[in-house]
Structure 1
Amino acid sequence: MTPCPVRPRLQIPRPQRRGFLTAAAGLLGVSALGGCDRFAASPTGQRALKAGENANLFVQRLLLTPASLAKEFPDSEISPWFKPNGTIEPPDRAYKALAAKGFEGFKLRVDGLVERPQDLSLSDLRALPARTQTTRHDCVEGWSAIGKWTGVPLSEVLQRAGLKPNARYIVFHCADTMEYAAGSDDEAAETEKTAAPGMESRPEGAENQASDSQPAAAEAPTDEGEEVQGTPVRYYESIDLTDAYHPQTILAYDLNGQALPVSNGAPLRLRVERQLGYKQAKYVMRIEVTEGLKGIGDGNGGYWEDRGYEWYAGI
């Protein structure tokens, strides 16, 4: 009998009791301050927030096993309309060209710390084992919606690629341009080297909103065809291997029995059901396997995390 492949395991340090209590106290202190932005922006505030985030991750992993499932609902409870918030249509010309042909030419790039880099079409992904789950999406703004998602478990894609021993994080690079960073042509060219395949061109003039309920960090030009100055900053997210191999973590291509609409993240949307909505990256074009998060964005693990949001965001 062929032995089952052993997936890499992320070693999570178990903090000492004193460290845990200190982190919890820091979290309570920050909560008591409410909307004190000045404190939150200070080095002390940032350390307290980070301690609270670490405590959240530790408690979640302590109370839940890696296989603990988020609640799944009967079809009778599916929301009549799944709110297409955030970016509703990426303005990039390359994305628009793919969407116009029903994503016929789409290829999901899987690279980084893998033994066998992959370029997978939607047909390739649909041919892999699939999972359907009816779950609740909880937005950081306070609203929720229930949808029926079908897609390929992320674990299937990672097993196909084969992770190297030092792999620790899975980074999702997306098609939606969030803002334009000032920089030299050399810096822009360097950024484009790391773009998802087919997404190297500049965005077409169009309104762009931020992903998952957040106000846009910057707007794309509103006049059709207007040239954009600066380097496109596209949405990205990341999770660790524990969540990557969770049975409910899927790359969804269908919503409520139909092909995923553009407004909800076509061609692929990450579903990681035990975390808040901004972790559910839309318009996934590339998956990069890494040892750490430094050097990607500002090094905090996600577009909104680079702007102060919690990385783990567990619920």
Structure 2
Amino acid sequence: MSKAILTRRRLLGIGAAGASSLMLGGCDAFDFLGDRSGNVRDVLKKANDVTYYVQRFLIGDALAPEYAESEVRQGQKPNGSTNPTSTEYLALKANDFADYRLSVTGLVETPKSYSLAELRNMPSRTQITRHDCVEGWSCIAKWTGTPLSVVLDEVKLKPAARYLVFHCYDNMGSGASGPNFYYESCDLADARHPQTILAYGLNNETLPVPNGAPVRVRIERQLGYKQPKYIHTIEAVSGFAAIGKGKGGYWEDRGYEWYAGI
């Protein structure tokens, strides 16, 4: 296979063409696609799902490109909200996040809560990567944090866990049921990817508030909105039905794709 980058549109075309050719060829293995009650048909019926599975198959555990420190030529442009105003966050910020705790809950054998100091004392990873925003801009920056896989190894996910949901302090506005706090999610493949970190450092400094202090998630093979800032809880779940509008993220609830791989 050539080294050319496969775009999401190209991946979608490959996935659709592959499925179509198999069905036209009369492959018995795809007879279930004609059954409207089939579980796999339900998975494949959305283009986003096709893109997800094809990209997972083609890319596997490949790393996102990393860069030389000389290529960090500007500060990391903040994305999304830049200064949460919730009472709890403001109190933590006023005390330089000394009282911050990151909770890991849900479908785990041993729920835990970590202070910022505890996270900093765990194994760390530093990586220089490019942040790609859905708005079209990109920025190269140096990130330092705890590999998410280290935390998952400590809490021990239960067999039913399929996704992680990241709950955040930034209030995106009020709705009929109250405040809409930002949340995002990822599957376990991205959660355990070696470049997925709980970042507390940026460009050799403490992570600034506009960029997500005290802790944000870096999922380097996804677009920016999939990398939540200001996180306070990581929840292991089997599905999204009981969270937000059931789509897996704040922007997904408003029409964005759940899988935003690049």
Query: Is TM more than 0.5 here?
Result: yes
Q: Distance in 2 between matches of 1:54 and 1:298?
A: 18
Match of 1:116 in 2: 110
| CA RMSD, Structure 1 to Structure 2 (Å) | 1.8
Letter of the 1:148 counterpart? K
Match of 2:46 in 1: 51
State yes or no: 1:260 paired with 2:207.
yes
Match of 2:74 in 1: 80
| Residues 155, 244 of structure 1: 8 Å contact kept | yes
Match of 2:6 in 1: none
State yes or no: 1:269 paired with 2:223.
no
Q: Distance in 2 between matches of 1:166 and 1:254?
A: 32
Secondary structure of the corresponding residue to residue 70 of structure 2 = helix
| Structure of higher RCO (CA pairs closer than 8 Å, 6+ residues apart) | 1
| Residues 20, 55 of structure 1: 8 Å contact kept | no
Q: Distance in 1 between matches of 2:128 and 2:134?
A: 20
State yes or no: 1:295 paired with 2:233.
no
| Residues 16, 50 of structure 2: 8 Å contact kept | no
Structure 1 unaligned segments of length 5 or more: list them: 1-15, 23-46, 184-230
| Residues 164, 237 of structure 2: 8 Å contact kept | yes
1:241-275 alpha-carbon deviations (Å, 9 max, x no partner): 01100000000000001000000000111000001
Match of 1:20 in 2: 19
Secondary structure of the corresponding residue to residue 186 of structure 2 = strand
| Residues 170, 238 of structure 1: 8 Å contact kept | yes
Shift of residue 50, structure 1, vs aligned partner: 6.4
Match of 1:167 in 2: 161
Q: Distance in 1 between matches of 2:17 and 2:88?
A: 52
Q: How many residues align?
A: 227
Alignment of 1:1-315 (within 5 A): 20-21=19-20, 51-66=46-61, 68-183=62-177, 231-315=178-262
Shift of residue 79, structure 1, vs aligned partner: 3.2
Regions of 4+ moved over 3 Å: 16-22
Secondary structure of the corresponding residue to residue 96 of structure 2 = coil
Letter of the 2:55 counterpart? Q
CA 19–156 in structure 1, closer or farther in 2 if over 3 Å, else same: same
Shift of residue 86, structure 1, vs aligned partner: 1.7
| Residues 114, 164 of structure 1: 8 Å contact kept | yes
Q: Distance in 2 between matches of 1:111 and 1:58?
A: 27
Taking structure 2 as the reference length, what is the TM-score of the superposition? Answer: 0.83
1:129-168 alpha-carbon deviations (Å, 9 max, x no partner): 0000000000001100001000000000111111111110
Q: Distance in 2 between matches of 1:18 and 1:80?
A: 42
Shift of residue 20, structure 1, vs aligned partner: 3.3
Name the one with the larger strand percent: 2
CA 78–50 in structure 1, closer or farther in 2 if over 3 Å, else same: farther
